[in-house]
Amino acid sequence: MIKRTLFFGNPAYLSTKNEQLVVNFPEEEKQEKTIPIEDLGFVVLENQQITLTSGLLMKLVQNKTAVITCDKQHLPCSLLQPLVGHTEQTVRYRHQLDASIPLKKQLWQQTVASKISNQAAHLKFLGKYSLKLERWSKEVKSGDTQNHEAIAAAHYFQNLFDIKGFSRNQKGIPPNNLLNYGYAILRAVAARALVASGMLPSIGIFHHNKYNPFSLADDVMEPYRPYVDLMVNQIVNTGANLEELNTNIKSELLTIPAMDVSIDGKKSPLMNAMSRTTNSLYECFYGSSRKILYPEFG
């Protein structure tokens, strides 16, 4: 089942009744709206004049709904997730924490190879075939000791957009702002899936900054980034004004969890594919598998 994503950009009062999310807009003379909580996967709160009841927060968390709040720049800045996301959470934590360094290096090798392969496929889809990316995707070694990820990313973004002076930089020229927003949504999807699979999003296989509570989410989202890039490229090609993230652009980017991706030979919504990825990662930690399932761009 595809879970819904709700975005609130205006002042609102959110509460709950009869297992429904109840929405009231104080600035509008409209009847209240209700949405079944069980249908919700993500709730994005952008306006700082939104009020929620603690009862609603409790039910959203119990439903494993990711609640995302935004900062003054309208970018996602926090994610509310349940303390207990899986019935075997303690055991799964232990397998994750006990993962050996050689295993983590092998998993990172698979992750980087998959990311570069998807970047190559995206450029090919755009008519910008890159033999270098295809070659690099096959040359990644355990732990990516030659840093193919960074080398490939530089080449990829040099060719991705037909925009003079563009380079990938969080504070750079548009459409960097669109990429930032899309990647933040993707990160939330990854974190939600990891918690539901009974793992700690803060303990990564490669990323390990002590100030980063979502290191593992940053790891597993890497091969999914080209899907965000695809959507941003499509928005760029519409000729829309990219200087600010307007409601239309945000609405488009908020459909990222529902994007169709191909994983293990089958089409699947991105958020469902991410759950397959995180479950396969746990199987690697557990020892029943040696391969992470990642999507194949195409």
Mark the binding-site residues, compressed into ranges. 149, 207, 222
Work out the angle at residue 174's Cα, subtended by the Cα atoms of residues 170 and 175, and round it to the nearest 5 degrees.
85
Place of tokens 């490229």: 233
Q: Where are the alpha helices (DSSP H) in the chain?
A: 54-62, 89-97, 101-125, 131-139, 148-160, 176-196, 215-220, 225-237, 247-253, 270-286
Beta bridge partners of 94: none
Q: Annotated binding site for Mn(2+): which residue ranges? A: 149, 207, 222
What are 94's two structure tokens? 């232990």
Cα–Cα dist 249/240, whole Å: 9
Phi, psi of 20, deg, nearest 5: -115, 150
* Cα pseudo-dihedral 7, 9, 15, 19, rounded to 10: -10
Cα–Cα dist 52/6, whole Å: 14
